[in-house]
Amino acid sequence: MARVTGPSMVPTVRSGDRLLVRRLAPGDEVEPGDVVLARFPARPDLLVVKRVRNAVDGGHWVEGDNPLVTDDSRAFGVAVVVGRVVGRLWPRPGALGPQPPTGGPEV
Residue 70: predicted pLDDT: 77
| Residue 107 placed within a domain | no
Question: Mean pLDDT across the chain, nearest whole number?
Answer: 90
| Residue 85 placed within a domain | yes
pLDDT digits (tens, 9 = 90+) for 54-86: 999 889 999 999 988 878 999 999 999 999 999
How many domains is the chain built from?
A: 1
Residue 101: predicted pLDDT: 65
pLDDT digits (tens, 9 = 90+) for 23-57: 999 889 999 999 999 999 999 999 999 999 999 98
Is the pTM of the predicted complex or chain greater than 0.85?
yes
Element (H, E) at 76: helix 73-76
**Domain extent for 31:** 2-90
| Residue 102 placed within a domain | no
What's 63's domain CATH number? 2.10.109.10
Is the pLDDT at 105 greater than 70? The verdict is: no
| Residue 98 placed within a domain | no
* Strand ranges of the sheet holding 43-56, from the earlier edge strand across to the other edge: 2-3, 18-23, 80-90, 35-40, 43-56, 59-63
